[in-house]
Copies of this chain bind each other. A is one copy, B any other.
């Protein structure tokens, strides 16, 4: 196996280190976060850090670095208290990835990527038209991460929209059936073709494998 320790990582060139450190956690979620500023400018950005935190209340978290251009998303969430999370279907991977380009605040990544806004009653943040799973969230709390200045943003799921054909009767959403992408590292997208559901695990008799 190839081995890098802490000192090796500290000495790595920038691009090498970000490729490595964005790959080491495993597959990541592939989502577009939609927001709108108080003054009416929509914003759309690809994120790969959206993570389940709890089911009751239903909470999702994601990490952002407020000092980069992506701060539009952060400012809009704080201004309006709402945002959307939209899953990336295999047919829009290139458009979704393009939202990672650094545009100025007044420019809409919807216009620049070709993705279309969808507005629903009583919710100011834009959803992404045609995406197979769409969530409307309200901002709950934020946690500044001391070790590197990023921020954990936590939101509560207020609305869930799911294409009918991926929804199962026990509440499971079949992401594979939805041709939903997953992200590897900074720039690789994969679309799993099959999945396998396993059963709930209970303890076996002690040391049954020995």
A interface residues, Cβ below 8 angstroms from B = 1-6, 9-10, 12, 15-31, 48-61, 63, 65, 85, 87, 93-94, 97-103, 107, 111-114, 133-135, 140-141, 143, 145-148, 150, 152, 154, 156-164, 167-168, 170-176, 180-182, 184-185, 187-204, 206-210
**What is the CB-to-nearest-CB distance from A77 to chain B, in angstroms, rounded to a whole number?**
15
Q: By the criterion CB–CB under 8 Å, are B203 and A112 in contact?
A: yes
Partner of A20, one of B54, B65, B160: B160
**What is the CB-to-nearest-CB distance from A164 to chain B, in angstroms, rounded to a whole number?**
6
Q: By the criterion CB–CB under 8 Å, are B4 and A53 in contact?
A: no
A184 to B6, CA, bound (A): 32
**What is the CB-to-nearest-CB distance from A63 to chain B, in angstroms, rounded to a whole number?**
5
Q: By the criterion CB–CB under 8 Å, are B26 and A50 in contact?
A: yes
Q: By the criterion CB–CB under 8 Å, are B51 and A49 in contact?
A: yes
Return 12 A-B CB contacts under 8 Å, by A number. A20-B173, A21-B54, A24-B135, A26-B50, A53-B148, A57-B147, A59-B148, A61-B145, A97-B201, A141-B145, A182-B182, A191-B192
Partner of A27, one of B9, B10, B192, B204: B192
B residues less than 8 Å from A27 (CB atoms): 27-30, 175, 180-182, 192
CB-nearest residue of chain B to A106? B206
Q: By the criterion CB–CB under 8 Å, are A98 and B201 in contact?
A: yes
A158 to B31, CA, bound (A): 29
**What is the CB-to-nearest-CB distance from A116 to chain B, in angstroms, rounded to a whole number?**
10
Q: By the criterion CB–CB under 8 Å, are B114 and A209 in contact?
A: yes
Check A198/B97 contact, CB under 8 A, given A26-B50, A87-B26. yes
